[in-house]
Chain A
Amino acid sequence: VWSIAQNSPNLFHTKCSVFSSNYLDVIRARSSCFAFPGRYYDYIFDFNKSQLGPAKRNSAVELKQLLVSVVLEPECDLYPSITSDESYTLAVEGPVAFLKANRVWGVLRGLETFSQLIYQDSYGTFTVNESNIIDSPRFPHRGILIDTARHFLPIKTILKTLDAMAFNKFNVLHWHIVDDQSFPYQSVAFPELSNKGSYSLSHVYTPNDVRTVIEYARLRGIRVIPEFDSPGHTQSWGKGQKNLLTPCYNGPKQSGTFGPINPILNSTYCFLSQFFKEVSTVFPDQFVHLGGDEVEFTCWESNPEVIAFMKKKGFGRDFQRLQSFYIQKLLGIVSTVNKGAIVWQEVFDDHAKLNPGTVVQVWKNEMYPVTQAAVTAAGFPVILSAPWYLDWISYGQDWRNYYKVDPLDFDGSQEQKKLVIGGEACLWGEYVDATNLTPRLWPRASAVGERLWSQQNIKDLEDAYDRLTIHRCRMARRGIAAEPLFTGYCNF
């Protein structure tokens, strides 16, 4: 089982009577809206191993049904959120197995676990051990960041990633959709952004593409949080939106190059208002990621109008104050459209005034526990990414390093630690596209998946290795080209 359930010790001490089942009837109780995801049939039963017919052993009882019951209002037609209840219990004994959850989100998690319990014995008979599982995630925010600006990712690749995320109980897709290099997001209000900013007209996400991703994710209990990073990382925005970026100066003359978004013009905020209004309707999640990282001040410094503005505002030469001025106005815009904001740590580091509830994503590797302590001490929720930059590949089993991270290993009170809502494995796209994304993400990201779901004391690397090799083969069988952990083979 990958992502060890919360009460895992019980699982291993259960008596091992065996059930066999070639066909499983799934009965839903109290969930009018819930349609059993047919894909789980395929995951469980569609093995290539030939079946020599059910070899009925004397002690084997046939498992005939999985009874699914949702206790509270299932939330079937809603979008998952940070407060969604993903807990479930799974009891496998007798001819009927019981999967019980408060909400449909828990059912999804439970189904995944159930599908991982079933195996084929040497005769090919589908078998599951008697089990009693009580499970819920340690952290509510368990995300994967994909970058579709450095390299365009075809929709198929994004959907496959969502499938793999569900196998690993990830529940947030952080879609870093635009950046310096390209702007593939097709905006209805500002069509020139992608017309001029995308790599090409076929390297674009249409509104339909975006809807497809959001719904595919929802059906897997995965939130889609878009990131429109500004004021830095915006070169591609300037292609389709004139006068948005700051013109850089070479002495008294414009150099022809551009810098971050121009924070001194009203037109900037007019544009941002309209743009984020659209974004807030297109993306249903409660939160939007505003970026705010790595803002280069050189261009601002060179621009006389910016200098004049700084003087007028009393910022002196402190460009962090200009940056914060911009971010605060942007945060205001975003709160007007009723969204919460997530920002990269620079926004906090550089002293912007943040609304309570603004989430800070910690990504800089140097002494990140110190950053975690500072951010939570100031009362803001934290998403941890610093130790989980999966684009930083190296030779050998680096998944172990990801697994060993403890997200709460910093100096802070209990209240502070509660503010760590989870983490995200980041796969930046400088060297990644559809040709190598899947093997680069999986199974390395699985290590992060377990660290964020399972209890703190689940840290035995040997056991993790044994389970992860099996899980990797399972993912491969399900069509995810997860790379090997080490020498060996898969049984199919």
Chain B
Amino acid sequence: MAGPGLWFSLLLAAALAGRAAALWPWPQYVQTSESHYAIFPYNFQFRYHASSAAQPGCSVLDEAFQRYRDLLFSSRSWQPPEPARKQHAPEKSSLVILVGTPGCNELPSLESGENYTLTINDDHCFLLSETVWGALRGLETFSQLVWRSPEGAFFINKTEIEDFPRFPHRGLLLDTSRHYLPLTSILDTLDVMAYNKFNVFHWHLVDDSSFPYDSFTFPELTRKGSYDPATHIYTAQDVKEVIEYARLRGIRVLAEFDTPGHTLSWGPGVPGLLTPCYSGSHPTGTFGPVNPILNTTYEFMSAFFLEVSSVFPDFYLHLGGDEVDFTCWKSNPDIQAFMKKQGFGNDFKQLESFYIQTLLSIVSAYDKGYVVWQEVFDNKVKVRPDTIIQVWREETPVHYTKEMELITRAGFRALLSAPWYLNHITYGPDWSEIYMVEPLDFKGSPQQKALVIGGEACMWGEYVDSTNLAPRLWPRAGAVAERLWSSELVTSVDFAFKRLTRFRCELLRRGVQAQPLNVGYCEQEFEET
């Protein structure tokens, strides 16, 4: 619903921003009015429409109804008494949900529709969506429309919303290798992602520093690679829990097992996997990236990724491929010999390609698609046309906008992360710079631009663990969430600031440890436990 309709509704909404709730992210089409309806918690229900493809028993929505009841009606602390029932406003006693197609027991995917419409007027209080995932998005918006009077009564304004995401892949990366994140931190993050309509959890599970993923095929990986195998691991049960918790919120889990670099923690559990580095003719005792010249390497990868493919049900796996340091490979005489035999000369990018291509065919055989970091593209590895390339480097080898241009010109789908490294903190309100990024701001045809499927905010873990994860993530990641969901015309920083500060207070009310954007206050401040 672009064009004048949108502008009108924006202006109207801006005028009513004082009255209407703090919507975040801003829907594609919003029309509100001053008329409002009363809601009485004891008398309000979420109901399935008789013709809905989703009915009671649909776990995704049954659970969501419960969650949103709690979010709306049971405050963490302050709860004024129910006001006397003399309202002048007519009552809305239910939100009726009609879902077009079944799919309650399925997983969300990149292709899942997330459209919905919300109609709240004299005759209806109605949420319509094609899929259960759209219904989830609509429920979140609904929860942001309900407001309370100073006396404590609940109201909702007459509203008409048509909404859908601008980009289908709206992700958040967490790094559980540099610092272990307890399960509760991950689950809490998934909750807040849902409030922001994020739909992909990019789980950077392992890296150089530690290997917390509990592998059943190779238990030594975890035993020797985790910080502490008794306490700092994710068991199969934990992983299942994360995947289901995410699913119930319409969030895909994109698991990343980054190779051939970033693999030091894999070494202790799988002797012979990593390349031994040499000084002259003697091994130094240190190790480099995965050894690409041994058959055993590929046997291991086959078995390991067979497990990973079965544990993580999303169609896509992230295979990493970033920052491969060639120094160790260069130093190793066996590798030098191999390079000669293969005719790679001194071009280690070809060796890297060799490894990655072999890995990609292993993973393809398991019927998985894959996402890789941009180096895989930059180093001209031969990848399948449906590979997704994630752009993370701001200036090298080119500015990220140029990189987006090159990737899409070559026909690959792209994910943008470069300007959204939330671990890069600075003094002051950096959320606005994050907000003002325009993912399609590069030279390209409409077909090229259509290949940008979205982006991801990244929270790398060198300096982050459960002590500071939530305030560092929120509300800053919200800026990315809106940029990826809302229309490209929604760019006013002032309008965003008004809503995001309100939304932040709502996050606090919901128990999220979201830090302040600027000076000010919320009615309910965060209380440490």
Contact = CB atoms under 8 A, between A and B. Distances in A.
Interface stretch (A88-96, A287-295, A417-425, A482-490): A482-490
B209 A487 contact: yes
Interface string A425-440: 0000111111110111
B516 A151 contact: yes
Contacts of A432: 515-516
B456 to A, nearest CB: 19
A52 to B, nearest CB: 14
A379 interface: no
Contacts of B465: 483-484
Contacts of A434: 525-528
Contacts of A486: 462-463
A200 interface: yes
B380 interface: no
B283 interface: no
A200 B523 contact: yes
A124 interface: no
A181 interface: yes
B468 A483 contact: yes
Nearest to A181: B519
A259 to B, nearest CB: 19
A481 B210 CA distance: 22
B470 interface: yes
Interface string A37-52: 0000000000000000
Interface string A199-239: 11011000000000000000000000000000000000000
Given A435-B513, A488-B179, A482 B467 contact: yes
A54 B336 CA distance: 56
B516 A489 contact: no
B425 A199 contact: no
A146 to B, nearest CB: 14
B309 interface: no
Interface stretch (B130-138, B426-434, B477-485): B426-434
Nearest to A481: B467
Given A200-B523, A393-B427, A438 B179 contact: no
Contacts of B467: 438-439, 476, 481-484
Contact of B425 (A154, A202, A393, A438): A393
B335 to A, nearest CB: 28
Contacts of B180: 489
A429 B520 CA distance: 10
Interface string B416-448: 000000011111110000000000000000000
Nearest to A491: B228
Contacts of B492: none
Nearest to A389: B427
Interface of A: 150-152, 154, 156-157, 160, 181-182, 199-200, 202-203, 391-397, 429-436, 438-440, 476, 481-489, 491
Interface of B: 178-180, 209-210, 227-228, 232, 423-429, 461-465, 467-468, 470-472, 508, 513-521, 523, 525-528
Given A392-B427, A431-B427, A488-B227, 8 more contacts: A154-B525, A393-B425, A435-B471, A483-B464, A484-B179, A484-B464, A487-B179, A489-B179
